[in-house]
Structure 1
């Protein structure tokens, strides 16, 4: 199996989760990942134990524009190199997750190797729209992604997340981060690099959290800092640059305030955490669309980035996190929207295509 999902963690992590699921179902399988030197895959894929084949990047315009006219020359070389990889490794199936690695993979495999497409976002990108036209099977995270006849399965997630028992891991997680063992805890993060608006609004509301007896675990990003004066005899406000163990972070928390990228929404839903979503303020609005199913089910709250202020956090987030009964209802609601089994479902789809 050759997986194509380079560039961002939102493309790479589902590809690796699928790879892990295939290996659990078929230990005799071989998985090869396609990627580029500039993408996160150059670090993430080898760390998970899979070989990485590098091809030239083909940046994909989000919409049909004049940039499309520049694609043929860029694509041609990448397709040739990708075709060489498919032949050399003896590919039986290509699984693409969108982005600038997937288009060459789809074009190289067309008519030669069966293709499976997975779309993680609420709005499909151009690469997956192309790949879906000649794919054997098409899967999507949510309905109405723009890919016709796509089977809605959710997003493949890491096994450590889909099998997470938050209650069983709670005490260990609280100790690991230096959090109060029983007080409510809000988990805060804004992606791997942090988010300045989230950092500013939440850290400025630290006195309100302390007064309400709420602890905070705040991942502010490796290039940012958060200065918070601890209030004696109150639950700790714990700032960290980065969260290496998201399973521990989720287990330690009672609620989360975060961006609403597709992977984040999928993980939060799978573990059943009530969420305050702050969609990225630029792009095509897909982060708000990602969060909508959870919000509609009652498992989350959505606040536009420009409206996220310390005053709003103190007036809205603090009482929400302090209300255990409301948190329990929201947790049940968000769990109902999750897809813990998506990795195995997609793995079986892929293996059926190979068998066929």
Structure 2
């Protein structure tokens, strides 16, 4: 087959949806140069920035969430949802789509249904251990389903791991460490704790770290605190929190540097974070989001069972926990080394290529088989 392929990719909202979507698109372009890729998202998610930055066209449709209680929005839902499906269909037609890939989020359900109406092959990637509603719909009609974790319950799902972009998938943590610390303003040779609540931040984690600064400083530990967009941590006088060896930033674009620089990371257990920690081999303390359907605790299960991370409930992640568990661990190099090796044993870095091959093969562009790649 010599003609260029045309694929529409859909997903959005958070980096947890957008990053794997872009990783699969990148892999398709590497494996079948000339592939035309159009992304579909909403006008309010991170895709509005990340997709154009990655070099892909972004088309948007209206976000149609399910109202949580009876209201006028609930009465309007059928009309809004129908309009979203029609808008998605117009994008598919304009792009001349030959296949559709969805990774989850509000935008995907209208795209899946528009693709089904046009008899286009549908492919789904589910990032979380517990599948979201959109991907449950898409998987019913899908020609291929990939999952980052087992047990999603999606029909025909194949565990492929988490698609991730090359800077993390191929990273060498030890080789990057010195340059990463310099780039992130961390000193060499000093124990480093990196804290992140994801792109949106985590107010409870931020508060616990703020309450632990005196103990961390006294132990000789430096902290890079990634607070999340618009979540600057303030002191009692309303100024940005400051202390010796402590630096806060709202966001880090190059998370491979954060994984490399950290001796230990404190993080939410979003699916992308868990899988990237494993590929990087970075020891972690995982604090699952306490709301939602419990998928973050499930996301962390395999990494924790392997010994690559500790799990602590959000309510239990307190300054006392930092003092009694986090600080002693950061000062125990042997324990950190064991955790890093255990994390690496769970890492899989070829998911983007596996998903890309699944799509391209279905369109007649044969690709060589790719064996599973385990470890960092």
Q: TM-score, normalization: structure 2?
A: 0.88
Contact map agreement 1:199 1:226 (CA 8 A) in 2: no
Contact map agreement 1:143 1:152 (CA 8 A) in 2: yes
2:300 counterpart of 1:291: yes
Aligned counterparts of 1:162 and 1:324: Cα–Cα separation in 2: 25
2:159 counterpart of 1:152: yes
Contact map agreement 1:8 1:40 (CA 8 A) in 2: yes
Q: Deviations over 1:236-268 (max 9, x none)?
A: 222222212212211111110011111111211
Q: Which residue of 2 aligns with 1:189?
A: 196
Aligned counterparts of 2:263 and 2:38: Cα–Cα separation in 1: 38
- Aligned pairs for 1:12-23 (under 5 A) are 12-23=18-29
The answer for unaligned runs of 5 or more in structure 1 is none
- Aligned pairs for 1:114-125 (under 5 A) are 114-125=121-132
The answer for unaligned runs of 5 or more in structure 2 is 1-6, 236-240, 366-376
Q: TM-score, normalization: structure 1?
A: 0.92
Aligned counterparts of 1:137 and 1:69: Cα–Cα separation in 2: 34
Contact map agreement 2:210 2:233 (CA 8 A) in 1: no
Q: How many residues align?
A: 348
2:319 counterpart of 1:313: no
Q: Which residue of 1 aligns with 2:368?
A: none
2:144 counterpart of 1:137: yes
After TM superposition, give the deviation of residue 160 of structure 1 in Å. 0.9
Q: Deviations over 1:116-144 (max 9, x none)?
A: 01111111112111111111111111111
Q: Deviations over 1:159-215 (max 9, x none)?
A: 111111121121111122232211221110112232221112123222322333322
- Aligned pairs for 1:242-257 (under 5 A) are 242-257=251-266
RMSD over aligned Cα atoms: 1.9
The list of structure 1 runs, each at least 4 consecutive aligned residues, that deviate by more than 6 angstroms after superposition, is 67-70
Q: Which residue of 1 aligns with 2:340?
A: 331
After TM superposition, give the deviation of residue 61 of structure 1 in Å. 7.4
Aligned counterparts of 1:30 and 1:78: Cα–Cα separation in 2: 23
After TM superposition, give the deviation of residue 98 of structure 1 in Å. 1.5
Worse-superposed segment, 198-207 or 279-288: 198-207
